[in-house]
Structure 1
Amino acid sequence: MNAETSLTLGDPPRLHDADALIADMGARARLAAKALAVATTAEKAKALRAAAAELRMRGAAILDANARDMEAGREGGLSSAMLDRLRLDENRLAASADAVEAVAALPDPVGAEIDRTVRPNGMTLARVRVPLGVVGIIYESRPNVTADAAALGLMSGNAVILRGGSEAVHSNRAIHAALAAGLAQTGLSADAVQLVPTQDRAAVGALLRAQGLIDIIIPRGGKGLVARVQDEARVPVLAHLDGINHLYIDRAADPARAVDLAVNAKMRRTGVCGATETILIDRAYRAPLVIVDALIAAGCEVRGDAAIAALSPHVTPASATDWDCEYLDAIVSIAAVDGIEGALSHIDTHSSRHTDAIVTEDVATAERFLAEVDSAIVMHNASTQFADGGEFGLGAEIGIATGRLHARGPVALEGLTTYKWLVRGTGQARP
């Protein structure tokens, strides 16, 4: 079993039942969203703090549920990277509760004025942020998404319908129960955060067809899941396919910094979407073998082009497909490039537009890289592992958007809102 097939597992599809289920959930979510849209910041923050407290109080039960999922995942053949995504422990659960509280403390985007103008005829025009409405979130493996998505949805005034993968079913249900208990304590409708109660794969199709009930779908998981959502959805989709991220080590890179960032960007957590998958090294950089050896010493398999493979017998020659592969594992591809021009060309050809970084002490080269790389997140002298909503000060994230419309990069509170125009006049009639 792997991340791309987990959503095809479960009970045989029952199309009529699934459509009825999602229609009912969507109708209830729509009513909850109307109430949330006018809830005060204090009311929403109180509900989130109560939810965080329930996560902590129910920690033992949640970890027991996660242990069941981990056991099933190992028996089902989940990769080590996918098991790492699935695993909860006391620290990760505490971090999840902290993230919910952090969202409660963030500025409320709903009602915030984006800009205001006064027309020559005296009319005042203002754009203000409003919730998207009902957000459907389809995700795999990571049970922390259940808490993050609920918190971000609620604080941004949206009702959310969550559909997690079968590999995390017990964890997701335990976390959702804690969140629902927190909402109940504060009087907000439990329908604001709903978890699809079945792993029947037909429920995913019903979510994707729910025009008029769901305003946007956000998939978070493997390439197979995201591709299916983008192919089949009849409602707008906010998504990214891959995290094929690059770290370019320029000739002017500080050698110690280059080694530290290369190892951290690849090996800190190999299963996250911000992990570096390809390292590009300027042919003029003076110590490429040190980087290769450091990665190998850290337990990483290195696949290199001809120039890199010639440096060490421990490097496996890279194939053509390696440059377009999101490993999500302790594997990295490394290529030697002809300076910044070669790096920009390689990234333009192979990047998934998620996160790309440069290591250099040359400010002009860094600024060119930042300006010319067309990715959602572009970094200078920093690990791509920082591609995370919490690290951006957003409290949590619903995912990294790599498209050009609506939102880009870590999607948090602001990314879950749209805007409307408010026009205030004094009797103006159009001539």
Structure 2
Amino acid sequence: MTDVTIKRLNASQSDFDSALAKLLAWDDSVDHQVNESVRHILHEVKTRGDQAVLEFTEKFDRLAVGSVAELEMGKDRLQKSLDAIPRDQREALEKAAERIRDYHERQDQKSWQYQDQDGTILGQKVTPLDRAGLYVPGGKAAYPSSVLMNAIPAKVAGVSEVIMVVPTPDGVVNDMVLAAAAIAGVDRVFTVGGAQAVGALAYGTETIPSVDKIVGPGNIFVATAKREVFGVVGIDMIAGPSEILVISDGKTDPDWIAMDLFSQAEHDEQAQSILISPDAEFLDAVEASINKLLPTMERADIIRTSMTDRAALIQVADLKEAADVSNRIAPEHLELSVEDPQAMLDDIRHAGAIFMGRYTAEALGDYCAGPNHVLPTSGTARFSSPLGVYDFQKRSSLIGFSASGADRMGRVASVLARGEGLTAHARSAEYRIKD
């Protein structure tokens, strides 16, 4: 088997900016056919409800039932899966859930108020969503960790009802996914997937209730459907391929770094793995480790394609320049595999999650570190954040004027409203002004 040749860039080269831009370019435009198909499915579900869900479930998942109610799994069924999985899996799920819950409880925002000099009350009322929908991939791709990461923050936020949808092609059920739902406190589970599941959550059917927000990963049809229903409901994000960026000072075991890069490359061929280091010999050593370890990987073909097409080894002058390049990339996952990661933190401005130190493998963050693994991709860490409790809460402004406050601020509002030509606004404020 031939060695993988990985792109080499040097921050000092004259065309580095354009080479980096080309490396990062990812086309997220959706195929016209996918768009048309998704819009058709959503329209059918919106107008025909349960019947459309049943027809699409039979068509795409080869699962024929008489009613959508038959596609619901009760809490006793979830408990049965929890009891059925091997003991080590159950303990691992429970430990991960405990850490995820503990971390997210610290994000819980409370309502607040204060009073100004006129006795006017101002503040913010924080309220959980009534109902959240959680999409979980099914079939070959089974991600119980995603159930924990999406459902637990919703429950910590105080969401009354979490509805999970998960496809079960040919009726094949993944017990670990259902066990995770039991541990996370999911309220209802429907074995429905694809764009039809997103439509059911967004619009509601006779059996599946509509939700306020849809979260969770899915394939191109699911992502496109989430994009289409945004506005009717909230969504978490439209995620691109998974990414990892490792900054190393050259003193970490090259095999560790190679495997960290593989941990994202094995997701799919479009995943991106980048290593930045000031040490050229270390970049050579990691490339050698990549080629040594690749034949030992179960998903070697996927990793090979990802590493060939989208990976890069970037040489920089020093760790300061490494941080500058990282900020331009704004990676989903950033490993600071250096002696003193804390010292680098001030220089890092854009990253979904920052893994600090040689012993902090990104994989720990995917499962059990505690922080959420739902992270911004494709450079969106420049302006967005990991999924958290705050995504399942909304904030209402509180404004309560006293008589003297209405008098004082009414005069200000009057001037501004008349300046904008909005007379009714002005007069509404002026009614409360003392003569």
> Please, what TM-score do these two structures have when normalized by structure 2?
0.57
Q: 2:375 aligns with which of 400, 407, 410?
A: 400
Q: Deviations over 1:243-282 (max 9, x none)?
A: 2221133xxx152x25264134234576569x98423344
Q: Which moved more, 1:168-177 or 1:377-386?
A: 168-177
Instruction: Tell me the amino acid that sits aligned with residue 363 of structure 2.
Output: Q
Aligned to 1:137: 134
**Does the CA-based 8 Å contact 2:264-2:272 persist in structure 1?**
no
Aligned to 1:370: 348
**Does the CA-based 8 Å contact 2:114-2:123 persist in structure 1?**
yes
Write the distance in 1 (CA, Å) between the matches of 2:278 and 2:210: 55
Q: 1:289 and 1:375, CA in 2 relative to 1: closer, same or farther beyond 3 A? A: same
Write the distance in 2 (CA, Å) between the matches of 1:133 and 1:398: 24
Aligned to 1:203: 197
Q: 1:227 and 1:398, CA in 2 relative to 1: closer, same or farther beyond 3 A? A: farther
Q: 1:335 aligns with which of 302, 313, 317?
A: 313
Q: 1:347 and 1:429, CA in 2 relative to 1: closer, same or farther beyond 3 A? A: closer
Is structure 2 residue 163 aligned with structure 1 residue 161? Answer: yes
Write the distance in 1 (CA, Å) between the matches of 2:215 and 2:184: 24
Q: 1:238 and 1:316, CA in 2 relative to 1: closer, same or farther beyond 3 A? A: closer
Q: Deviations over 1:304-338 (max 9, x none)?
A: xxxxxxxxxxx98999x823xxxxxxxxx332333
Instruction: Tell me the amino acid that sits aligned with residue 155 of structure 2.
Output: L
Q: Deviations over 1:65-109 (max 9, x none)?
A: xxxxxxxxxxxxxxxxxxxxxxxx543333223444556667757
Is structure 2 residue 332 aligned with structure 1 residue 354? Answer: yes
Q: Deviations over 1:109-165 (max 9, x none)?
A: 798436543322123333343212322222313341345544433332222222223
Aligned to 1:194: 188
Instruction: Tell me the amino acid that sits aligned with residue 227 of structure 2.
Output: Q
- Secondary structure class of the residue paired with 2:118: coil
Q: 1:301 and 1:199, CA in 2 relative to 1: closer, same or farther beyond 3 A? A: same
Q: 1:237 and 1:199, CA in 2 relative to 1: closer, same or farther beyond 3 A? A: closer
Instruction: Tell me the amino acid that sits aligned with residue 288 of structure 2.
Output: D
Instruction: Tell me the amino acid that sits aligned with residue 44 of structure 2.
Output: L
Aligned to 2:291: 296
Aligned to 1:78: none
Q: 1:17 and 1:120, CA in 2 relative to 1: closer, same or farther beyond 3 A? A: closer
Q: 1:286 and 1:104, CA in 2 relative to 1: closer, same or farther beyond 3 A? A: closer
Matches within 5 A, 1:108-123: 112-113=109-110, 115-123=112-120
Q: 1:386 and 1:276, CA in 2 relative to 1: closer, same or farther beyond 3 A? A: farther
Q: 1:266 and 1:413, CA in 2 relative to 1: closer, same or farther beyond 3 A? A: same
Q: Which segments of 5 or more consecutive residues in structure 1 lack a partner in the other structure?
A: 25-50, 64-88, 184-191, 303-314, 324-332
Write the distance in 2 (CA, Å) between the matches of 1:335 and 1:56: 47
Write the distance in 2 (CA, Å) between the matches of 1:115 and 1:147: 29
**Does the CA-based 8 Å contact 1:127-1:420 persist in structure 2?**
yes
Matches within 5 A, 1:268-279: 271=266, 277-279=272-274
Write the distance in 1 (CA, Å) between the matches of 2:190 and 2:367: 25
Q: 1:125 and 1:386, CA in 2 relative to 1: closer, same or farther beyond 3 A? A: farther
Q: 1:103 and 1:322, CA in 2 relative to 1: closer, same or farther beyond 3 A? A: closer
- Secondary structure class of the residue paired with 1:142: coil
Aligned to 1:248: 247
Measured on the aligned residues, the alpha-carbon RMSD in Å equals 5.1
Write the distance in 2 (CA, Å) between the matches of 1:398 and 1:18: 35
**Does the CA-based 8 Å contact 2:97-2:183 persist in structure 1?**
no
Q: 1:169 and 1:93, CA in 2 relative to 1: closer, same or farther beyond 3 A? A: farther
- Secondary structure class of the residue paired with 2:222: helix
Q: Which segments of 5 or more consecutive residues in structure 2 lack a partner in the other structure?
A: 1-30, 32-36, 54-74, 298-302, 408-435
Write the distance in 1 (CA, Å) between the matches of 2:242 and 2:215: 16
**Does the CA-based 8 Å contact 1:358-1:380 persist in structure 2?**
yes
- Secondary structure class of the residue paired with 2:93: helix
Q: How far is the alpha carbon of 1:218 from its aligned partner?
A: 1.5
**Does the CA-based 8 Å contact 2:100-2:368 persist in structure 1?**
no
Aligned to 2:227: 230
Q: Deviations over 1:215-257 (max 9, x none)?
A: 22213134553244224544222122222221133xxx152x2
Q: 2:392 aligns with which of 396, 402, 416?
A: 416
Q: How far is the alpha carbon of 1:385 from its aligned partner?
A: 2.8
Percent of counterpart pairs with the same letter? 12
Q: Which structure has the larger Rg over C-alpha atoms?
A: 2
- Secondary structure class of the residue paired with 1:286: helix
Aligned to 1:287: 282
